[in-house]
Amino acid sequence: MVIKNFEELIEKIKKGHKPKRVVVVCADDLHTLEALKKAEKDGILKSVLIGNKNKIKKLLKKISFEKKENEIIDAESDTFAASKGVEIIRDKKADFMMKGKIQTSDLLKAVVDKNNGLGKSRIMSHVSILEIPTYHKILAVSDGGMVICPSLEEKKQILENTLEVFLSLGYENPKVAVLAAIEKVNPKMKETLDGEALKNMYINKEIENCIIEGPISYDLAISMESANIKGYKSPVAGDADILLAPDITTGNILSKSLVYSGKARMAGFIIGAKVPIALTSRGASSEQKYLSLVICSAMF
């Protein structure tokens, strides 16, 4: 199975999909509420809002978005809002979480709390799903938002997190490109050594349910024309589903470059916790936030 664009995914969710419930931490944000309104109208989800109740009500009125009184929880601080959101997830009163107008670090403090958080044995990582006008299907970039400079073991876990997303969407063997500046191993370039190591893990069946190529450059991963010119043969060449970035800087710049310069549409979220967390920049458009909700809703 391959998903070509977000519209295809949205239609898939609408058919026989039971609406999920999202808890939104610090929901007093216009773009966040606009995204929620559209998602609820499309029958994709229902929501519980936490934050400054008066501000939330004013914004709801501004966009003509009706919510019941018991669907809005007043929070005296961002810290309280984050803790309450985690509590609602732990009590199974919501299926996943969304970041509103709150610093990511403040939200994650509650999420990773050892006693009452939502952590699992695997690290948490950020995934960007992009629909690029010049590419034939949706494409993931990870990690551009959580793990600063991942070790080989952390890259393995980041990859496993991202694979979990694609398998939940119905993919059988997603194609993974472990990115580097070049496609040959150079001992002076750690990312090429990690690329080779991850490919060997795939060959030795330490990582399953995917096809891994690495190290591989960006052009070879997404352009069959480039691969043909260079005589590079791989099932991943020109057809990657997942781009595994060498570090947070590369992943972050790559995703934002595709959005702001390549006119890509993007969804962003955190995976690796007990539930997905829809997470985009506080300055993200309502469409980005809506698409992030769509992806998280589809992962069940």
The whole-number pLDDT of residue 185 equals 97
- In this prediction, residues 69-79 reach a mean pLDDT of 96
For helices 53-62 and 30-41, angle between their N-to-C axes, nearest 10 degrees:
60
109 band by pLDDT with thresholds 50, 70 and 90: very high
Instruction: Note the pTM of the prediction, 2 decimals.
Output: 0.94
The whole-number pLDDT of residue 138 equals 98
pLDDT above 80: residue 23:
yes
- In this prediction, residues 60-85 reach a mean pLDDT of 96
What is the β-pairing status of strands 277-278 and 45-51? unpaired
pLDDT in tens, 137-159: 999 999 998 999 999 999 999 99
- In this prediction, residues 1-27 reach a mean pLDDT of 91
62 band by pLDDT with thresholds 50, 70 and 90: very high
pLDDT in tens, 246-294: 999 999 999 999 999 999 999 999 999 999 999 988 778 999 999 999 9
Buried b / exposed e along 204-229 (16+ C-beta atoms within 10 A) = eeebeebbbbbbbbbbbbbbeebbee
Q: Which domains does the chain have, with CATH numbers?
A: 1-119+273-300 (3.40.50.10950), 122-272 (3.40.718.10)
- In this prediction, residues 189-207 reach a mean pLDDT of 97
The single-letter DSSP state of residue 205 is T
207 φ/ψ sector (left φ>0, alpha ψ -120 to 50, else beta): beta
Mean pLDDT taken over the chain = 95
Tokens at 72, concatenated: 């809005």
The single-letter DSSP state of residue 144 is S
The whole-number pLDDT of residue 14 equals 85
